[in-house]
Amino acid sequence: MSIDVHDPATVLAAAETSVRTRRAAALEDLDLVLAWADLHGDDPQHKPGAIPVRYGGDQLIDLGGDGTPYVQDLCLGELAIARHTHLLSTRSVMADALDLRHRLPQTWAIVQTLACEVWVACRVASMTRKLTHAQVALVDEAVARAIGGCAPGRVFRIVEAKIIEADTAAHIARIEEQGRTRTVVLSPTDDTGLRMLFARLEAGDAVWVDATIDRVADLLHDDADLRALHHPDLPEDVTKAELRAIALGWLARPHDLAALLHLLDQHDDEQASKRRKPSAVLHVHFHQAALDTGVGVARVEELGPLVLDQVRLLLAHANVTLRPVLDLSETIAVDRYEHPTIVRERTAILIPADAFPHSTSVTRRVDLDHPTPYLDPDSGGPPGQTGDHAAAPLTRRHHRAKTHAGYTVEQLDRTTFEWTTPHGVKRRVDPTGTHPA
């Protein structure tokens, strides 16, 4: 290595350069694969003396999706050897490359500028292969806006949602088909007498099973007499995870479970009984057009894109409480260090993802950081330092790094942050992802 590996700034600069080098090499590979495809696009059956296909002769095959050119079948082996790969691997790469060039031109243009990872673009091509040429244009436009800045996981979630939007009927058919794969599987018993239980369920059923398990686990945790009666061998320091496993066992004894819950409800007043019932909070995001027409795609936090029929099924057995839509045109600020619940809710809507550069997390399980360090008013701090105008959602590890590792961040507006690392690397994070600053 020809750089000074003892100088942090030099190492970081070389790391950034290596990203472009890696992407350039991956792009060159795609370009060469495309060149090979172009060299073998003529129908071999039109050549003099061509061996008929029925006798094993060469033929044109369709590797990519709708709208991509055909390629000679028997050309793939030689290219695979040159690329040091299995033939099927090269076949897959050629299909992705053809799709990018002919079906996803906006995404392909970004790939050619080295502004994104080539493998992410290839994954998008593979995910969208069954769409028609017209349908895939909807995905291409959305991906082109995101792939240069968003983490791969967020890009793939966008693709999933746009595939549903582009061909809702086909997605509903897939839902029905996948419904036939629901199952519950029990693993063999291990040498300690424990077994694993695997289940593939409707999302709504899984949510309610999880909520019921949580409820019973909480009851066991809070009631020492109940634990002593039914589980006298449990240690005092039993964990929530252990209690949840025990609670699942209660679901296997429905009469005991019903008696337990009925007994609790008998001794509760109406409000206490309501509080004890299993609960789950779902944050569902709709476009107004979906509500107007009854057809469309919703984004359910933690679950991903769902068609409206799936949302209806998800909520079928729930007591639904609608919360009013928050007006985000104004800001809310308070004169204390802690972010109140209303600020957390508003910030989660404004900034649904971790605000750390290149983060992959889209979750509400975050700390809200003050981009400008909070200064106690008694020490001269200004009023209104805490609010949705000054809040950066960060997962715990990223919050620790920002607080203790020498990072600085400037909040440019309510959803845009400019980060500077301890050795001066700058990044801008906004709703479209992470970008050089």
pLDDT(287) > 80 = no
What pLDDT is attached to residue 266? 56
Mean pLDDT of the chain: 88
**Residue 358, SS3 per DSSP:** coil
Q: Residue 275 corresponds to which tokens in the numbers above?
A: 């509080």
Q: Which among 393, 397, 405, 303 is positioned nearest to 354, based on CA atoms?
A: 393
What pLDDT is attached to residue 278? 55
For the chain, the 3-state helix, strand and coil shares in percent, each to the nearest 5, are 50, 10, 40
Lowest pLDDT segment from 57-66, 97-106, 191-200, 381-390? 381-390
Please give the residue that has the higher pLDDT: either 264 or 291. 291
- Cα separations in angstroms, 273 against 50, 199, 263: 80, 29, 11
So where are the chain's domains? Answer: 8-166, 203-276, 333-436
What pLDDT is attached to residue 111? 98
pLDDT-based confidence at 27, cuts 50/70/90? Answer: very high
Residue with tokens 């944050």: 283
Q: Residue 419 corresponds to which tokens in the numbers above?
A: 């980060």
What pLDDT is attached to residue 267? 52
Taking only the tens place, the pLDDT of each residue in 96-108 is: 999 999 999 999 9
Bridge partners of 430, per DSSP, are 433
Q: Which among 268, 284, 273 is positioned nearest to 215, based on CA atoms?
A: 273
pLDDT(342) > 90 = no
Q: Cα 142 to chain center, whole Å?
A: 15
The Cβ of residue 327 has, within 10 Å, a number of other Cβ atoms equal to: 7
Q: What is the mean pLDDT of residues 327-334?
A: 77
Q: Which among 211, 204, 217, 218 is positioned nearest to 279, based on CA atoms?
A: 211
Lowest pLDDT segment from 150-164, 256-270, 351-365, 412-426? 256-270
What pLDDT is attached to residue 93? 98
- Of the chain, the percentage scoring pLDDT greater than 90 comes to 55
Distance CA 436, CA 413 (A): 17
What pLDDT is attached to residue 2? 79
What pLDDT is attached to residue 289? 64
pLDDT-based confidence at 291, cuts 50/70/90? Answer: low
Taking only the tens place, the pLDDT of each residue in 202-247 is: 877 888 888 889 888 988 888 888 888 888 888 888 999 999 999 9
Please give the residue that has the higher pLDDT: either 267 or 408. 408
| Burial class, 398, CB count within 10 angstroms (exposed 0-12 / middle 13-18 / buried 19+) | buried
Taking only the tens place, the pLDDT of each residue in 129-167 is: 999 999 999 999 999 999 999 999 999 999 999 999 898
DSSP states along 153-216 = HHHHHHHHHHHHHHTHHHHHHHHHHHHTT-EEEEPPP-TTS---EEEE--HHHHHHHHHHHHHH
Distance CA 379, CA 307 (A): 53
pLDDT-based confidence at 437, cuts 50/70/90? Answer: confident
